[in-house]
Amino acid sequence: MNLSTYARRRQRAGELAARWPFASDVLTFYAALLVVQERAFDESRAHRVAPEDVASFAARYVMPRVVEVTAEAAPPPLQQGALERFATTDLESNCSRWLRGEHLKIYDRYLARVSTAPVLEALGDAAGEACVHPAGHRGCPVCGAPPQVAYVAAGPSAPRRYLQCSRCTADWPVEIAGCAACGATEEQRVVYAERAGANDKARFPHVRVDGCRACGRYLLTVDLVRDRRAIPDVDEIGAVPIDLYAKERGLRKIVPNAMGF
C-alpha cells in the first residue's frame, strides 16, 4: 500500500500508542493532529501558497482546525493553554515570529509550529524563502532552524546519520560523531548516552540520547537499522522516558518537540 507521509505517521503513532501505554494519550492526540496537518498540506499545494503567505494562510485556515482538534483530544494542560492563546493573541504575528526564529512562549509556539509545519512541508525546498536563517547557524540547510531529532539509516557501505528540521521537517546528512547543537566532536566530550535503565533498553532498543558535555544540550536519535518501521519524528514524541532520562542528567533539549517536551 502506497501510503502518504502523513498516513504513515498516523499508522506509526497508532502502533506506538498500543505498544507504549505511558505515551498513548499524547500519541493518540498526535495522530488526530496529523489529520488536520495532512489536510493543510494538501490545501497548501492545491492553492499554491507562496512563501510570503505562509503565516497568513496558516493563521487563517490551519490554526482554527488545530485548535478544534486540540480542544477535543489534547492533554488538559495543552487544551487550556492553546485555547487561551488562540482567543487572546495575534495569530498571524505569532506565525511570523516562529518563521523568523524568535522566542515564543510554549502555547504560542505550539500553535504557530503545528499550523505552519504542513504549509512549509508543502513548499519543499522553497520553505527557506518563508523563513529567516540566523547568522552563522548550524541548522537546517533549507530553512535554518535547529534539528528536532536525529536518525541513523543504512547507507551504501555503512550507516549514515541524519538530522530532521524542527520547523520544515527537511532532512540532511551529518557526521556520525558530533554535537548537533555546537559542533563539538567526540574528542571534545560528546556523550552518546546509554538507553537509560534496563527497562528502557527493552522498550526503546532503537532510541538513544545524544548529549554533549561541551554545551549541555541533547537530542534523541532513532536507529532505523534497528527498527525499520520507525518514523523519527513520531518515535521521538513517544519516547518520553528517554527525554526524562536526559533531563535528569542535566541535559537540555536543543528544541522541545511539537508536544512541548
pLDDT tens digits, 242-255:
898 888 888 999 99
Average pLDDT, stretch 177-201?
Answer: 65
The CATH number assigned to the domain holding 224 equals 3.90.1670.10
What's the pLDDT tens digit per position in 46-89?
999 999 999 999 999 999 999 999 999 999 999 999 999 999 99
Domain shared by 111 and 42, yes or no: yes
Q: How many C-beta atoms surround the C-beta of residue 2 within 10 A?
A: 4
Calpha distance 193→212 (Å, rounded): 9
Distance set, CA 206 to CA 130, 163, 226 (Å) = 34, 16, 6
Domain shared by 17 and 126, yes or no: yes
Q: What mean pLDDT is reported for the chain?
A: 90
- Please check the confidence at residue 185 and state whether its pLDDT lies above 90: no
Domains identified in the chain, total number = 2
What's the pLDDT tens digit per position in 144-177?
999 999 999 988 888 899 999 999 999 999 877 7
- The total number of residues written for the chain in this structure: 261
- Please check the confidence at residue 1 and state whether its pLDDT lies above 80: no
- Please check the confidence at residue 134 and state whether its pLDDT lies above 80: no
Give the range of the structural domain holding residue 171, as residue numbers without chain letter.
147-253
Does residue 138 lie within any of the structural domains?
A: no
Domain shared by 191 and 87, yes or no: no
Calpha distance 17→26 (Å, rounded): 8
Q: Where is the domain boundary, 81, 103, 130?
A: 130
Does residue 52 lie within any of the structural domains?
A: yes
Domain shared by 43 and 86, yes or no: yes
Domain shared by 154 and 116, yes or no: no
Average pLDDT, stretch 130-150?
Answer: 88
What is the value of pTM for the model shown? Answer: 0.91
Q: How many C-beta atoms surround the C-beta of residue 125 within 10 A?
A: 11
Does residue 140 lie within any of the structural domains?
A: no
Q: Where is the domain boundary, 70, 104, 130?
A: 130
At residue 14, the pLDDT reads: 96
Calpha distance 176→208 (Å, rounded): 14
